[in-house]
Amino acid sequence: MASDIWRSPINRRDFLKGGAALGLGGSAALIAAACASPGVSVAPVVTPSYPKAQIDGDLEFFNWSQYLNPDAITGFAKHYGVKVNQTNFDNMQSMMAKLNAGIPYDITFPTMDFVDQLVKANALLGIDHTQLANWSEVPSYFNNPWYDPHAFYSVPYALWTTGIAWRTDHVPDTLAGSWNDIWTLAPKYSGKLFLLDDFQEVLGMSLLRNHKDINSGNRSDLDAAVSEILKIKSNVGKFSTDDITNMNNGSAWIHHTWSGDIYQVIAAATHPEIWRYETASEGVPTGNDTFVIPKAAKHPGTALKFIDWMLDPVNARANVNYFGYPQVTTSGIDEYQKLVAKLPFLTLSLDTAIHGLREIVPTGAKLQLWDSEWTKVKAG
Amino acid sequence: MSERPQVLRAGSAVIEQPRIAAPAAQTSSITTGRRRPPRGFDRPRFLPMVTALVFIYLFAPILVVTWFSFNSKQSLNVFGTPSLKWYDQLIHDPIITGSLFASVEIALVTMVVSTVIGTLLAFGLVRARSRFSRPTDILMLLNLVSPEVVTGVALLLVFSEAGGFLLQFGIQFGLSLTTVVLGHITFSIAYVTIIVRGRLAALNREVEEAALDLGATNVGAMRLVTLPLLWPAIIASGLLVFVMSFDDFITSYFTTGVGVEPLPLRIYSMIHFGVTPEINAVGTLMMVMTIAIVLAALALFTRQQNARQELAFLAE
Amino acid sequence: MTSNRLWRLLLAPGAIWLLLLFVAPFGVVIAVSLGTTDFIGRPVFGWYPENYQQVFDPIFIPVLVRTAAFAIGTTLLCLVIGYPVAYMIARYGGRFRNLLIVLIILPWFADYLVRIYAWYVILGNEGVVNGLLQAIGLHGNPPITFVNTPFAVVGGLVYDYLPFMILPIYAALERMDPSLIEAGKDLYGTPFQTFLNVTWPATIQGVIAGAVLVGLPAVGDFATAQILGGPNTYMIGNLINDQFTNGGYPPFGAALTIVLMILLSLLMVFYLRSASAPSEATI
């Protein structure tokens, strides 16, 4: 049966005919496409369209994994009688890839610099704060944050820092509180050191270690940063943002990670005292992320209701206890202090997050540069 | 077929005695002249061993997965007590049951549509004399041998661009279960065509021509004579396409949208975001379902086939 | 209507479908590959042929070499393992033949991902093998890392595609007239020579079909490398996939796809021409 294919004497001419069909079809499509789409340009800032806060269908929920209390989701679903369909992304870039493909998620959680971009690209629906009963819970700074003037499009979600976590039972070394620790530890614990699968975090960290700007657009800075990473790449166990699982199941002894994730590991560990977390002297990426409603959302009203639900003090407190980050509401930040009291390395104030070191996602030509440098890290 | 030659073992030498009636002088000079140590594939001992090992290699992982799906503990290397708790969790998980139904739906639609289009294409390729035959043949073969990642990316791009394009006219079109089905049908057509074409080309046209002589139309002859003869191939290719679509990962990965996703994608998320023993149960369930569907279809079909044996006998 | 007209009409649905959903998408891929992205990364059409230059950047040579090595390695392993099995079943299977072939195909009914995951269960840090080793006391903490290695990836690939090598070879062997082998034994004496000069050439079509059915998907695979592998098993499938789903540059990914397609098509032409010469050993 399969051998029959090969018996028919397809010669070069016929093959070229078929290939020509492909090529012709291709060029035709090309021409059609070129005529049809004038290309996407940056739209002038327009008045956002504000959906009303009312239940208008099931919620398409697009978030990091293990980044929002599952009880809050089931609670919401039960209270309002809707379904919540959850999809997860690995990092901001894959979130953007899905949004760019036009998939109609109702609510998602970009970091502040990505919100900045999405606002400029006119890719979000407006959020009318008068429709949110619990908006008073949000600290006043966020009425006009740097990334979303007048907060037309976003509601803050949580604060975070990036650092290094390790377990002292297998890694008894004393770390130096520097990004260089990764380079010291990697050869020693080959295969047990995991980095985040996030180009801003990894390239940024290498840039910081070289005392360069974390958002540098300078090609030689980036090349140097990449070559440094490639030096230890054979010792890196994996690039993964699934850090909680990796630490929990023992495959990672050292993990490039975020502050709340190490909290979750400790909360689930049989021997929590072995875990440590440090931030680096060269620079600590920090900031907040947000709730936003993408333009393609089919059920923005439900999304608004969900945001309001999460801003509620009771839900915010429960959420903080689940995911270990300070949710940006008065109750959330208050609840977080209790966690800090138990684990001092989690200290993170609102002020630090707002004015601290910002990762700014590159755009345009700089984005292409960063993309190609990141591809070199993955493929090199 | 002649009997297998007897193999005598004399130390490290093997002397073969072929039983074919051949000029004795010639054979003896060849066989006695060589006293090589046992080599090659015709040694019964080597072959069954390799085969047995391969079967173990093929089945071990599946059996392990099935075994641990009944594990009461969460661990992957310690077996507690037999328990159905993962299956219970599975059945009550609306996301998984939703995905399961979606996958079955997609596979059914794919099977029907691609079988129809593929069979028609097979007829066209075998019977038609047209300058479009060869290029279409090549296109189909190219489709068959393209890696799924290549066709998947192509479909992703065409659907997203089409979506953006149509949005200008207010038409909502995006990645969804529909695009998944479209993608599946696209890669399935070639398989149906190849299988049906093989059978069609081997058929004896005399019976069909007899029908035409007796006054049947072309379509009628096709319907009454050729199609019944082709049923085995059509059914077989349909089943193959069903299984391929049900199990498909890469094409679904690139063409899926929001909401319900096909079951393999669900499994992928489960593996990606934390390995849980529930996956064992899902995997076992998928395997059992696939086997059951194929067996059921085959059983149904052989009953039909038995009734058609006379006709098949005539045609060949 | 005339006979030929009817048959030509039947060509239409298939041809149109393939044109719309196989040819046209490649047109879009070509268009995207020559374009660029807007400031948040959505593809924009234009004329930027330098994307193709990036495809040939020497930094990707390791990825290409690795992919070729994995694909060829998988194909060869499948051949070495699969041929004896096919031979065994075809020649000595007897009335169990069909049952054995069904058993070979059976694991394939488990979903592709489940098959990969099954290997993860066996080889993973908390998996069966490590568990056994710990129980015997051969290796305590830390567990041996079998996964995230090239061997795990190739092992997984071989496992995935082995039936596709066995089936075509089995079909070719079955079709062969067994008296040819007997005749060969007379002519050549040793089993090995018989195999080399009679059996192998007769089944070469099946071998090639198997090699194509195994090698091509192996080249494009990314899930096996992702789940069973680590950063050092990055294949071209991963490279392409990442450009579209994980922080890459879609035009580059599109250019890669086109180049890969052209390469594979050329390979296919090569195979077709080498296989179109009829072999005398078949019926």
Q: What is the ipTM of this complex?
A: 0.84
Residues in chain B: 316
* B148/C29 Cβ within 8 A: no
Q: How far apart, in whole angstroms, are the C-alpha atoms of residue B13 and residue B7?
A: 10
Q: What fold characterizes domain C16-275?
A: MetI-like fold (1.10.3720)
- Of the candidates A375, A199, A228, A206, the one whose C-alpha atom is nearest the C-alpha of residue C62 is A375
Residue B35 has what pLDDT?
45
Q: Are residues B309 and B284 in the same domain?
A: yes
Structural domain includes residue B20: yes
A161-285+361-379 shares the fold of A59-159+287-353: yes
CATH superfamily ID and name for A161-285+361-379: Periplasmic binding protein-like II (3.40.190.10)
Q: In which residue are the tokens 């299988």 written?
A: B195
Q: How far apart, in whole angstroms, are the C-alpha atoms of residue B131 and residue B134?
A: 7
* B250/C178 Cβ within 8 A: no
* Chains linked to A by 3 or more Cβ pairs within 8 Å: B, C
Residue B176: both structure tokens together: 């969804």
Contact assessment for residue B38 and residue B14, using Cβ atoms and an 8 Å cutoff: yes
**How far A14 CA lies from chain B's nearest CA (Å)?**
7
Q: What is the CATH number of the domain that holds B159?
A: 1.10.3720.10
Strands A154-167 and A254-258: antiparallel
The structure's pTM equals 0.83
Which structural domain range is residue B95 located in?
89-315
Q: Name the domain boundary from B36, B55, B83.
A: B83
- Of the candidates C153, C152, C163, the one whose C-alpha atom is nearest the C-alpha of residue C78 is C163
List chain A domain ranges: 59-159+287-353, 161-285+361-379
Q: Are residues B149 and B296 in the same domain?
A: yes
Residue B315 has what pLDDT?
62
Strands A286-292 and A275-278: unpaired
Q: Which of C30, C31, C39 sits opposite A363 (nearest CB)?
A: C39
Residue B85 has what pLDDT?
84
Kindly report each contact of residues B42-50 with a partner whose C-beta sits within 8 Å and lies 24 or more positions away, as own/partner: B42/C191, B42/C194, B42/C195, B43/B7, B43/C191, B44/B7, B44/C92, B46/C84, B47/C84, B47/C87, B47/C88, B47/C92, B48/C88, B48/C92, B50/C81, B50/C84, B50/C85, B50/C88
**How far A175 CA lies from chain B's nearest CA (Å)?**
29
Architecture of domain A59-159+287-353: 3-Layer(aba) Sandwich (3.40)
- Residues of chain A under the 70 pLDDT cut: 1-46
Residue B316 has what pLDDT?
59
Mutate to test the interface with C, among A118, A295, A371, A374 (most CBs of C within 10 A): A371
- Residues of chain B under the 70 pLDDT cut: 1-44, 76-77, 274-275, 304-305, 307-316
The CA-to-CA distance between both ends of chain C, in Å, stands at 38
Q: What amino acid occupies position B70?
A: F
Structural domain includes residue B8: no
Q: In which residue are the tokens 């509180």 written?
A: A177
Structural domain includes residue B5: no
* B258/A105 Cβ within 8 A: yes
Residues in C 170-229 with any Cβ partner in B closer than 8 A: 178-179, 182-183, 185-187, 189-195, 199, 212, 216-217, 219-223, 227
Bridge partners (DSSP) of residue A290 are: A156
Structural domain includes residue B174: yes
Instruction: Decide: helix, strand or coil at residue C44.
Output: strand
Residue A324 has what pLDDT?
92
Residue C217 has what pLDDT?
85
Q: Are residues B251 and B135 in the same domain?
A: yes
Residue C76 has what pLDDT?
95
Please tell me if residue A37 touches chain B, with a CB cutoff of 8 Å: yes
The domain tally of chain B equals 2
- Residues of chain C under the 70 pLDDT cut: 1-2, 138-143, 275-283
Q: Which of C15, C21, C237 sits opposite B186 (nearest CB)?
A: C21
Residue range C212-221, pLDDT digits in tens: 888 888 888 8
CB-count exposure of residue C273 (10 Å: 0-12, 13-18, 19+):
middle
Q: Name the domain boundary from B83, B106, B130.
A: B83
